[in-house]
C-alpha cells in the first residue's frame, strides 16, 4: 500500500458540546494512494488527542473521516510517515 500523510490546522473550534471548549485543532491523516483516510488524529490546542482508524471508527467525540481527502486542499500539507507516527504513538 502506498500510504500518504497529511497535516492540516483547523482554526475553528468543533462547535460540538463535548469538544468545543478544547480549542482549535490540527488534523493528521494517513491515507491510501486514493486518499481514503485510514488513520486520523485530531490534536487540540488544550493537548487532548482523538485517534481513529478502521478498528476504532468512532466514539462520542467524533469519528474517522468517511470521505476521500481533496488533494487540492491538502497538497501543500503533506508530511512524512515519521511525523505522523510521532503523534499517533502518543498516549491519549
The structural domains of the chain, with segments of one domain joined by +, span: 4-88
Q: Over the stretch 28-42, which tens digit does the pLDDT of each residue have? A: 999 999 999 999 999
Q: Over the stretch 33-78, which tens digit does the pLDDT of each residue have? A: 999 999 999 999 999 999 999 999 999 999 999 999 999 999 999 9
Question: What residues contact 28, with CB distance under 8 A and at least 6 apart?
Answer: 5, 6, 7, 40, 41, 42, 43, 79, 84, 87, 88
Question: Is the distance from CB of 28 to CB of 87 less than 8 angstroms?
Answer: yes
Question: Is the distance from CB of 46 to CB of 54 less than 8 angstroms?
Answer: no
**Confidence band for 92, pLDDT divided at 50, 70 and 90:** low
Amino acid at each position: 500500500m502506498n500510504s500518504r500523510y497529511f497535516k492540516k490546522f483547523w482554526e475553528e473550534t468543533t462547535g460540538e458540546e463535548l469538544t468545543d471548549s478544547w480549542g482549535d485543532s490540527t488534523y493528521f491523516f494517513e491515507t491510501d494512494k486514493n486518499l481514503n483516510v485510514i488513520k486520523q488524529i485530531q490534536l487540540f490546542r488544550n493537548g487532548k488527542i482523538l485517534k481513529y482508524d478502521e478498528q476504532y471508527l468512532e466514539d462520542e467525540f467524533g469519528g474517522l473521516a468517511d470521505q476521500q481527502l481533496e488533494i487540492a486542499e491538502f497538497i501543500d500539507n503533506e508530511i512524512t510517515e515519521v511525523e505522523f507516527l510521532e503523534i499517533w504513538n502518543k498516549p491519549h
